[in-house]
Structure 1
Amino acid sequence: MLVFLKERLVFLSVPKTGTTAFHTALRSRADIVVSNPPELKHSTIYRYDRFFRPIFTKLFDTDPEVMAVVREPIDWLGSWYRYRARPALRGQPVSTQGISFDDFVRAYLRGVRPEYAKVGSQSKFLTPRRNGVEVEHLFKYEHQDKILEFLQNRLGDALELQRENVSPVMPATLSREVEDLYRRKCADEFRLHASAT
């Protein structure tokens, strides 16, 4: 999470949406950088509203707007699948080595997920608490130009991003049957992505 007090902006770090590159590019520019532990770096909108926002409104007399990035849901799961197939995880319960992408997504859709398929949900990450603050600026991951334009206009600085935390290159294609099942069972993920700029 990145906080820019003067510009009244909070940039939430939705996992697997390229936010590590933005953290690196903006770390010296932000007033507050929450990078560790991961549970705080990747604070949900609910957690931000409940714990961080009161600090900003009470101590700094500001109520920042919130921005976030979401990724096309199949691509998002594909990124998790590839990331968890990296050699460093070989033999661990979270590893996806030796598992097909179809089987990974089927496991994700179960009521009780195996460790390798416990990757959260973009829609749950951005679901506000009752009467809580919502994300005002929601961008699609694939529209990097719009994200950069927004940040450069808001912060007044040119940005240069480097690719970071990149998943291994490997195929992640779903069968039509599993894709249809995913779209049906997780329609909220697709609606959220469609609502972004």
Structure 2
Amino acid sequence: MLVFWKEKLVFLAVPKTGTTAIEGALAPRASMVLRDPPILKHSPVYRYRRFLAPYFKQAGGQEMETLAVVRHPVDWLASWYRYRSRDDLVGHPNSTRGISFDDFVGEYVRGKPAPFAAVGSQAKFLNDGDGHLAVNHLFRYEAQPKLIDYLESRLQLKIDLPRLNVSPKVDAELSTEMREKLERKCAAEFAVWEAGQH
């Protein structure tokens, strides 16, 4: 999470949406950088609104706007799948090594997935308790130029994004049947992505 006090902007770090690269580029310019622990770095909007927003308002008497990035659900899951296939996770319950992408997604759509597919939800991260989008500015991961243009204009600086936290190259093809199941069972994930600027 990045806080830009003067510009009244908070960048919420949705996991697996390029936030590490954004942080790398913008941290020197931010008023506050929440990197560790991950529960703080990746605070969802409901946690931000409950704990940090009131604190910021009390500290400066100002309402902060929120910004986040959302990734297409299939690509987001593929990124998690690849990330969890890395060598240092082999033998760990979170490892996806030896598991097909179809099986990973099939496990993800279950009510209580196995540890290797328990990766959270972009919709829950970005929506309030009533299922409504609760960030002021939402950009699609796939539309990086629009995000960068917005940030450069809002923060008045030039941004050069490094490639950081890149997952291993692993085949992540999803069958038509499994994609349809994902779209049916996780409609909120697709709805939140559709809401992003592109």
- TM-score (normalizing by structure 1): 0.97
Gaps of 5+ in 2: none
Q: Which residue of 1 aligns with 2:123?
A: 123
| 8 Å Cα contact 1:121-1:189 kept in structure 2 | yes
Q: Which residue of 2 aligns with 1:148?
A: 148
Secondary structure of 1:66's aligned partner: strand
| 8 Å Cα contact 1:49-1:133 kept in structure 2 | no
Secondary structure of 2:3's aligned partner: strand
Q: Which residue of 2 aligns with 1:194?
A: 194
Offset at residue 134 of structure 1 (A): 2.0
Q: Distance in 2 between matches of 1:24 and 1:61?
A: 29
Secondary structure of 2:142's aligned partner: coil
Q: Distance in 1 between matches of 2:126 and 2:133?
A: 10
Question: What RMSD over aligned residues (CA atoms) do the two structures have, in Å?
Answer: 1.2
**2:53 is aligned with 1:53:** yes
Alpha-carbon displacement from aligned partner over 1:51-73 (angstroms, at most 9, x marks no partner): 00011100111111100000000
Q: Which residue of 2 aligns with 1:4?
A: 4
* 4+ residue segments displaced more than 4 Å: none
Alpha-carbon displacement from aligned partner over 1:125-169 (angstroms, at most 9, x marks no partner): 011246x99201000001110010000000000011101111111
Alpha-carbon displacement from aligned partner over 1:33-56 (angstroms, at most 9, x marks no partner): 000000000000000000000111
The one-letter code of the counterpart of 1:106 is G
**2:169 is aligned with 1:169:** yes
Offset at residue 195 of structure 1 (A): 1.0
Q: Work out the number of aligned pairs and report it.
A: 196
CA 1:129 to 1:180, structure 2 compared with 1: closer, same or farther past 3 Å? closer
Equivalent residues in 2 for 1:29-178, closer than 5 Å: 29-129=29-129, 134-178=134-178
| 8 Å Cα contact 1:17-1:71 kept in structure 2 | yes
Q: Distance in 2 between matches of 1:194 and 1:128?
A: 17
Offset at residue 116 of structure 1 (A): 0.2
Identity of aligned residues (%): 53
Q: Distance in 2 between matches of 1:142 and 1:102?
A: 22
